[in-house]
Amino acid sequence: MPGKMYKRLILCQLIFLGLDLASFTIAEEQFIYSGFSQANLSLDGTATITPEGLLQLTNGTFNLKGHALYPAPLQFRRHPTGDVQSFSLTFIFSILSAIPDKGADGMAFFISTNKSFSNALPAQYLGILNDQNNGNTSNHIFAVELDTIQNSEFQDISDNHVGININSLHSVQSRDAGFYDDKNGVFKNLTLVSRDVMQVWVEYDAGSTQIDVTLAPIKVAKPTRPLVSAIYNLSTVLPGTAYIGFSSATGVINSRYYVLGWSFSMGGTASGIDIRKLPKLPHVGPRPRSKVLKIIMPATIAASIFVAGALLVLLVRRKLAYTELREDWETEFGPNRFSYKDLFLATEGFKNKNLLGTGGFGKVYKGILPTNKLEVAVKRLSHESRQGTKEFITEIVSIGRLRHRNLVQLLGYCRRKGELLLVYDYMPNGSLDKYLYSEDKLSLDWNKRFHIIKGVASCLLYLHEECESVVIHRDIKASNVLLDSELNGRLGDFGLAKSYDHGSDPQTTRVVGTMGYLAPELVRTGKPSPLTDVFAFGTFLLEITCGQRPVKQNAQGDRFMLVDWVLEHWQKGSMVETIDKRLQGNCNINEACLVLKLGLLCSQPFARSRPSMNHVMLYLNGDMPLPEFTPTDTSLNMLALMENRGLDPSAIMLLHVKLICLLLLAGASLAACTAGDGNDDDHQFVYSGFTGSNLTLDGAAVITRTGLLELTNGTLRQKAHAIHPAPFRLRGGSSSSSTATATATATATATRSFSASFVFAILCPDADACGHGIVFFVAPANHSFSGAFPSQYIGLFNGSSDGDAGNHLVGVELDTDQNNEFRDIDGNHIGVDINSLTSINSTSAGYYDDNDGGNSGDHGFHNLTLASHGEAMQVWVDYNGTAKQITVAMAPLKMAKPSKPLLSSTYDLSTVFVADEPYMVGFSSATGSFNSRHYVLGWSFAMDGPAPAIDIDKLPKLPRFAPKHKPKMVEIIPPLATATFIVALGTVSVLLTRRRMRYTELREDWEVEFGPHRFSYKDLFRATDGFKSMNLVGVGGFGRVYKGVLQSSKLEIAVKRVSHDSKQGMKEFIAEVVSIGRLQHRNLVQLLGYCRRKGELLLVYEYMANGSLDKHLYSEGDKRVLDWDQRLQIIKGIASGLLYLHEEWEKVIVHRDIKTSNVLLDSEMNSRLGDFGLARLYDRGADPLTTHVVGTIGYLSPELGRSSKATPLTDIFAFGIFILEVTCG
């Protein structure tokens, strides 16, 4: 009877307490969850229990927190005055991150007297604390953190550690994640964000007050040695009752935190979790590939041996002597690839009797190709020379696709082990220097010399201004000018050439070239430009007119420059005496003197004083008179300039004095001849690039060789500062660098107006994971950033100094990370900061377009992404001292400053800045757990007025940027090669052949002559989605044009699909391949390649994003009206293209269909002439032999109706109509 009463009492007590028996396995003060399907945990934030029974703390969203608590508080003290009891727990967890090797901010097990965490912050605060209560003893929180981001504010040891925390996120003890192996005692590292399942044990011993935390992979027994231990009496932290649970938070990465099982015990050891009952984790990342089966049969082995033997016997022996190498870069270039066997036979085994000459990198042989009996010159580069290999690739890149009547034609190349060969047109009359200096050669008369000069000048104009890229030759001299059978001058030897995009900077630091032709600035900077070619061309002009070498030697053995010798005669009035005596006076004196003076003008010691090749051509053609200049304008010993590396200090000083005297004689301003960037005066400065600037740099900040201010270099948790060296006085007086008195309007109590502008770019490896941005700041000149933190503090403040009015700092932040501590509105915003990183005003990055909104004044807002992967943007910061107003505007680069600012705040900075104290201006930047790079390309600043304009054209080029691609793990199975080979010969080869029958192509004899790449029909079919109507760009007389994207390179293209059954279509197809297949000009639509298939004729072009010109002239739709500057630029571009077709290419090309619909506009609104379907090509001096009138009504010249003969003049007639059409609209 008493026993039954006892059981009833126990049952009533359980019911009264409302405990869920399913949640417990032993007693009130212990529990175990092997999965959470039936658990009644208290959840908030993003925490949830999945249908599979997983406790999911975060759901993959950004900047959020989640908590899961045991539903009832636990009694940690047996008596109110007693000590905290011993306790033990274990849990199994996994962290699944969207970015491999990078996690969000981590998770923590905690014990807390408080059940609500509504005021806690996510990100680095892990959803437990915030920036106000972190470190307060009144928190009464004990936690074990699994931290996956290193935060300097909390002195984290790494971004992969386990820590014991008391009332703060600054751990009392921490250790990198891992475990001690019981077998050998060796410590083994673990990665918390590895997506692996791991187990944690936490134990507190009340007697010793020792806390032990142990970590191990799942299925590994608990190690006997804990990972991290600390002695701490939790009785000073925890009261009688407290809640236990988990907290987790995300920042800028969408990680998911899971708890799979949990066990707890008060006063004893936590029970083991049944691993077999744990729920399964969801899959994250790519699905694993199936393994290759190891199937090796005797028949496949025998077949492999047979095929290998056959290849060795029948192929390797026959071709061993002619084995060639094929490299990845070859697929980019157009010239024909010759077989080594053909070149070996052509030169009779490179016999000495065929040797034409020897250069610095190899020998040149004459040869006759056995296939077509064409005479060629074969340059055989030195075998062991790395420079030879570099020269080989340079020539392929530089002139492989260039086409001009005055360039030596590169016909092709050959790459063989130990052999580097280039194949050119054979020039029967050799090099020009042999005619100028050799006694055996007949002297060239003046008319031929003048013709050669104009030809080389035309070629240089093409290289500098008319090619797709700027090409600098870097070695212009008489020995590199070759003469063809008609004594036309052709520029060759591009082994030192450098090509780069128009408007960018050639990335070179080495001085290369030939003594006597080197421009003075090359010795100082090593940086070539088109004007260094102009200098060498000036020496070439003097050389060919005087018949003298560029460096002369007198009877006493002293060397002097040819330019100085000519200059001396000009000063004496005897310039005619410098003309080559072998001409015997039989020359046009006026032309010769013109060339001599032009040579001196091109040889000016200062690059900006030299003419461009465009002007040189105008001078030579008599279309423009030479500018007025006198012999005293160029009086400078050029040889000393060339050798200034060997001068002693006194000689260098003397040279500087001569330079100053020269500038004074020429009436030039010294300010105009300095580098131009970073010119400071009393109240302003401007940097259009930072080469040669003297900014004060610290941390990771550097100035790159190209002139970029690189604030962060891609390392983690770094800060950087770049500061202008001269401080400014913002309240009263003038800048400290000024000797002028303060303006009358400045007072000691008012902050003066100031203005700044800068161009920046932020490069991040991942769009969802970026560093912490850039700040333009104004701070006291004696302010130190040594105690500032990186990461969210952006190198300006730390946890204690943020918000301190004693900072006296104003900043404009470009923030790429949303931080709840500073109430950031998003991860892509602009903010105005006063003494704190909590902005007084902020808004999402973007700009108001002045061209949007019509006459209403309601400017359209356009979003911008600060971390735009290499797209530069410009920011303007203005403070109006009278109105006490700060405005910030921004826009994409090359766009004018918007009239409506992005944000505006009224704030009297006199309450921030101290009167009569100097202030510095500069930039601060920082990274956290992501390797972002922050760049400033240009910067200007001014007091009491607008900041000077930054010269966009002079800005350095950003480095190429692409997200890093990690190498894939490849499983190597020995029999894989054999099995694949047999399958390829057998079943797979049959299947692939059948599948490709629909893409069968025709190859015809005439195709081997042309340079463009041949595309497969399959690639073009896929690029255009099967030539769907949605990709149709336009319809012409012979076929349709489709937009496409090549799958291999993601390049946008336009594909012309010529009518199937049209004979005229076939004729047009061949005409376009012949006409523009080898043309290279920046104002011609580039033919990338072609495809010939039965019933299909296709041409592949560059895609022109802005379509044809006629749509911009006549469309009533959304097309924006072209302004006059754009129209004039279009007219000039088409004129340049026609000049190239009519006069500068090796043959004459008559377009025959010039009209606005055949002029296309690229993304920068540059005009390009296209549609060469009616073009006619013929040799110079020959008859075009046309009998049909073709073209468009309104553009046909009158003589076509009578004779049907197309000539360059009929193109000019059509061009005249085109000019009227563009002008009149």
In tens, the pLDDT along 956-1013 reads 988 876 544 444 443 444 455 555 556 556 665 565 555 544 334 444 333 333 445 6
pLDDT at 740: 39
Of residues 861 and 853, more confidently modeled = 861
CATH classification of the domain holding 591: 1.10.510.10
Over residues 291-318, mean pLDDT: 62
Q: Does residue 979 form part of some domain? A: no
- Claim to verify: residue 926 and residue 861 sit in the same structural domain: yes
User: Are 1031 and 1071 within one domain?
Assistant: yes
Q: How much is the pLDDT for 394? A: 58
CA distances (Å), origin 450, targets 57, 447, 454, 542, 595: 83, 5, 6, 12, 9
CB atoms within 10 A of CB 860: 12
Beta bridge mates, 1097: 1058, 1092
Q: Tell me: pLDDT of 180 over 90.
A: yes
Which of 887, 920, 954 terminates a domain? The answer is: 954
Residue 284, pLDDT score? 62
286 within a domain of the structure (yes/no):
no
Number of independent structural domains in the chain: 6
Q: 320: pLDDT confidence band, cut at 50, 70 and 90? A: very low
Is residue 777 within 8 Å of residue 796, measured between CB atoms?
yes
Residue 1091 within any structural domain of the chain: yes
pLDDT over 60 (residue 1214):
yes
165 and 257 housed in the same domain: yes
pLDDT of residue 69: 95
CATH of the domain at 75: 2.60.120.200
Residue type for position 112: S
Of the two residues 50 and 381, the one the predictor is more confident about is 50
Instruction: Say yes or no: 404 and 459 in one domain.
Output: no
Alpha-carbon distance of 1058 to 1070, in angstroms, equals 11
Structural domain that includes position 648: 432-671
Query: What is the four-CA torsion angle of 549, 553, 558, 560, rounded to 10 degrees?
Result: -30
Measured CA to CA, the distance from residue 509 to residue 525 in angstroms comes to: 7
pLDDT above 90 covers a percentage of the chain that reads: 29
In terms of domains, do 420 and 463 share one?
Answer: no
* Cα distances (angstroms) measured from residue 305 to each of 300, 301, 309, 982, 988: 9, 6, 6, 11, 20
Q: Is 1056 annotated as a binding residue?
A: yes
Averaged pLDDT, 808-837: 87
pLDDT higher for 1082 or 599? 599
- Whether residue 214 sits in one domain with residue 126: yes
What is the rounded distance in angstroms from the CA atom of residue 124 to the CA atom of residue 104? 9
Cα first-last separation, the chain: 112
As a whole number, mean pLDDT of residues 860-865 equals 88
Q: Which residues pair with residue 787 across a beta bridge?
A: none
Count of alpha carbons within 13 Å of 233, Cβ hemisphere only? 5
Which of these three, 1050, 1071, 1103, is where a domain ends? 1103
Looking at the structure, tell me whether residues 582 and 718 fall in a common domain: no
310 in a domain, yes or no?
Answer: no
Between 228 and 627, residue with greater pLDDT: 228
* Active-site annotation, residues: 475
For residue 568, is it within any domain? Answer: yes
**Residue 3 within a domain:** no
d(CA 148, CA 133): 22
Whole-Å CA distances, 187 to 178, 180, 183, 729, 756: 7, 4, 11, 58, 55
Give φ, ψ of 778 to 5 degrees.
Answer: -125, 120
398 and 491 together in one domain: no
pLDDT at site 979: 55
Q: One-letter amino acid identity for 1071?
A: A
Look at residue 1021 and tell me if it is in a domain: yes
**Is there a single domain that holds both residue 211 and residue 263?**
yes
Highest mean pLDDT among 197-201, 468-472, 618-622, 707-711: 197-201
> Parallel, antiparallel, or unpaired for β 1013-1014 and 1087-1093?
parallel
Q: Judge if 168 and 232 occupy the same domain.
A: yes
Q: Which residue has tokens 């060919």?
A: 544
At 52, the pLDDT band (50, 70, 90 cuts) reads very high
User: In a 10 Å sphere around its CB, with 0-12 CB exposed, 13-18 middle and 19+ buried, how is residue 404 labelled?
Assistant: buried
Q: What is the pLDDT of residues 1108-1125, one digit of tens each?
A: 888 888 876 656 688 898
Where is the domain boundary, 277, 297, 317? Answer: 277
pLDDT mean across residues, the chain: 79
* Strand partners for 728: 919
Q: Are residues 68 and 85 in the same domain?
A: yes
The CATH number assigned to the domain holding 1022 equals 3.30.200.20
> Mean of the pLDDT values across residues 1049-1070?
71
Pair 376, 465 in one domain:
no
- pLDDT for residue 658: 41
Per-residue pLDDT of 738-794, as tens digits, reads 433 433 344 457 889 999 999 999 887 765 567 678 999 999 988 888 888 877 787
**Phi, psi at residue 683, to the nearest 5°?**
-125, 5
Residue 490 placed within a domain: yes
Minimal CA–CA distance to 730: which of 940, 948, 914, 887?
914
Percent of the chain with pLDDT over 70: 74
Q: What are phi and psi of 1067, to 5 degrees?
A: -65, -40
**Cα separation of 1091 and 1097, whole Å?**
6
The token pair that represents 383 in the structure block: 């075998």
The mean pLDDT of 908-933, rounded to a whole number, is 87
